[in-house]
Amino acid sequence: MEFRKMMDSKYRDLLVSYIKDESEQALYQGQKFSRKSIEHKISPEDIISLHKYLMIDLYPDLPEHVIKSFDILLEVMIGYGFAYREHQSLRHVQQEIRSEMEIAANVQQTLLSTEIPSTKELDIGAISVPAKMMNGDYYHFVEDEGHTISIAIADVIGKGIPAALCMSMIKYAMDSLPETRKLPSNVLENLNRVVEQNVDPSMFITMFYGMYDIQSHMFHFASAGHEPGLYYNSKTGEFNELVAKGLLLGVDKKAKYEQVKKEINPGDMIVLMSDGVTECRTEEGFIEKENLIGYIKKHMHLKAQDIVENVYKELEKIQDFQLRDDFTLIIFKREEV
């Protein structure tokens, strides 16, 4: 309040001082006056009104057209003031939303974190990179006392906090399944009922669920409309798709899921991914699956984690380092032991 009482005299002194000798000191004091005005929430139009009043008081013979020019300036500044305050308000809201999103992203990372299993029979690598702050992709490993290693990889059709909450529900639904219901087709059937009953109809989830039997080296898998995985045959040097029929989760609560098995020999690989991998876009359009296979072959002499990281770098580069969708890539490589 003290500044408001004194601002008339302070601004008068500034105005007179500058008109008299146009000093740099007066301009500097003017900048300080501006900062003080902002601190005390003095609007731009209030300063224009004060300026007009003082000019008429100091120069009674001021030409009429000059006085009128202050009127138009005042109207301009009133509009500017409203727009500026609205802009500041929106910035504040955006900062709050960003802060909340950062907290949500950290919570998501904590809730959905999973450790890559370590076993002498398998070399496993995994990478998941969100296109934005929140990740709509999800992967989770389940290790069964050295007998099996299961992997779930999912993609929510829908992004942001709702997708993160949905993924948390999926994770805990999987964790609550009894040991007798761990076969891939059973897992997807159970999760499908959970999603159908609890998730908004506008949201759908694709999922690939695989179970690797370390003793028999058989890979059992099922899919709920997810991007097909790839199987690399080390003897023939060929890649083939791992296809299993099944609807997206949440479409039909009575849906059944085909379960397929594949024998994995030493040197063979299983490649699992989200559609953010196969739908990488360049100026020419989507990359072909052959291009993806080419990048995998280029680095397949490396450890599995190095393969997924190098393939990610290759695909990130051809997209000018701008991911358009969440990216998840997982590789199982059977070791020769």
What's the gap between Cα 136 and its chain centre? 7
Task: For the domain covering 2-94, report its CATH number.
Answer: 1.10.1240.30
**d(C-alpha 182, C-alpha 256), whole Å:** 15
| pLDDT of 102 over the 80 cut | no
pLDDT band at 159 (very low <50, low <70, confident <90, very high): low
CA angle 156, 332, 183 (to 5 degrees): 65
Residue 61 DSSP class: T
Tokens of 262: 């594949």
Domain ranges of the chain: 2-94, 115-334
pLDDT tens by residue, 232-265: 999 999 999 999 999 999 888 899 999 999 999 9
Is residue 331's pLDDT more than 90? yes
pLDDT for position 303: 96
Q: What is the pLDDT of residues 181-193, one digit of tens each?
A: 678 999 999 999 8
Nearest CA among 219, 214, 227, 197 for reference residue 269:
219
Decide which of 301 and 44 is more confident. Answer: 301
Per this entry, what is the length of the chain?
337
Using DSSP's 3-state secondary structure scheme, residue 293 falls into helix
What's the average model confidence in pLDDT over 110-124?
A: 86
What's the pLDDT at 67? 85
Q: What is the pLDDT of residue 224?
A: 96
Does the fold of domain 115-334 match that of domain 2-94?
A: no
Q: Write the CB contacts of 140 (distance below 8 Å, at least 6 apart in sequence).
A: 112, 114, 151, 152, 171, 174
Residue 278 has pLDDT above 90, yes or no: no
Residue 266 confidence (pLDDT) above 90? yes
CATH code, residues 115-334:
3.60.40.10
Q: Is the pLDDT of residue 1 over 70?
A: no
Instruction: Report pLDDT for 181.
Output: 62
Which pLDDT band holds residue 44 (cuts at 50, 70, 90)? Answer: confident
Task: State the pLDDT at residue 132.
Answer: 74
pLDDT band at 282 (very low <50, low <70, confident <90, very high): low
pLDDT digits (tens, 9 = 90+) for 56-93: 999 988 898 988 888 888 888 888 778 877 888 888 88
> What is the average pLDDT value for the chain, to the nearest integer?
85
Ordered DSSP codes for 146-159 = TTEEEEEEEEEES-
